[in-house]
Amino acid sequence: MAQTLIRGGWVLTGAPESVPVAGVPAHSDASPTPAAIRDGAVLVDGDRIAAVGTYDDLRAANPHAVVRGGAYDIVTPGFVNTHGHFSEGLITGIGSQYTLWEWLQELIAPVNPVMTRDKAYAGTMLQGIQMLRSGVTTANDMFCSDPIPGDPATPGVVQALDELGLRGVLSFGSGDVDRDFGPAPILDELRVLEEATAASRYSSFRVGISSIGRYTDAAWEQHIGYAVDGGHGIHIHIHEVREEVTAARQRTGKTVVGHAAATGMFDVPVIAAHSVWVDREDRQLYAEHGVGVAHNPVANGILASGIAPVAELRALGVPVGIGVDGPASNDSQDFLQAMKTAALLARIRDLQATAMSAREAFEMGTIGGARALRMDGEIGSLEPGKRADVVVFDGDSPALANVHDPYQAVVFVAGSREVKDVWVDGELSLADGEVTRVDPAEAVARARPLAQQLVAEAGLSRLSALGGAPLEGTERP
Task: Give the per-residue pLDDT at 8.
Answer: 98
CA torsion 114-116-118-123 (nearest 10°) is 70
> Sign of torsion, CA 457 180 237 190?
negative
| Predicted local distance difference test score (pLDDT) of residue 163 | 98
Local structure of residue 329 (DSSP, 8 states): T
Q: What pLDDT, on the 0 to 100 scale, is given for residue 477?
A: 55
Q: What is the pLDDT of residue 472?
A: 60
On the CB side of 106, how many CA atoms lie within 13 Å of its CA? Answer: 16
157 three-state secondary structure: helix
pLDDT of residue 33: 83
Cis peptide before 151 (omega within 30 of 0): no
User: Dihedrals φ, ψ of 425, to 5°?
Assistant: 55, 35
Locate all alpha helices (DSSP H) within 144-255, ordered by sequence.
155-164, 184-198, 217-230, 242-252
Q: Three-state SS for 174?
A: coil
Check if the beta carbon of residue 460 is closer than 8 Å to that of residue 110: yes
Task: Return the pLDDT at 468.
Answer: 75
Domains in the chain (CATH in brackets) are 4-78+380-435 (2.30.40.10), 79-372 (3.20.20.140)
Neighbour tally for 161: CB within 10 Å: 27
Identify any residues that bridge with 54 across adjacent strands, giving them in sequence order. Answer: 40
What is the three-class DSSP state of 195? Answer: helix
Closest CA to 144 of 115, 119, 166: 115
Each residue's pLDDT tens digit in the chain (477 positions)? 689 999 999 999 999 864 333 333 444 444 678 899 999 999 999 999 999 999 999 999 999 999 999 999 999 999 999 999 999 999 999 988 999 999 999 999 999 999 999 999 999 999 999 999 999 999 999 999 999 888 999 999 999 999 999 999 999 999 999 887 878 899 999 999 999 999 999 999 999 999 999 999 999 999 999 999 999 999 999 999 999 999 999 999 999 999 999 999 999 999 999 999 999 999 999 999 999 999 999 999 999 999 999 999 999 999 999 999 999 999 999 999 999 999 999 999 999 999 999 999 999 999 999 999 999 999 999 999 999 999 999 999 999 999 999 999 999 999 999 999 999 999 999 999 999 999 999 999 999 999 999 999 999 999 999 987 665 655 555
Rounded-to-integer distance, Cα 123 and Cα 21, Å: 40
The structure's pTM equals 0.95
pLDDT attached to residue 183: 83
pLDDT at 79: 98
Question: Which DSSP letter does residue 450 get?
Answer: H
Alpha-carbon torsion (133, 48, 75, 67), positive or negative:
negative
Contacts of 364 (CB under 8 A, 6+ apart): 295, 310, 320, 321, 322, 339, 342
Cα(265)–Cα(228) distance, integer angstroms: 8
Would the CA dihedral through 395, 401, 406, 410 be positive or negative?
Answer: negative
Q: Is 380 in a helix, a strand, or coil?
A: coil
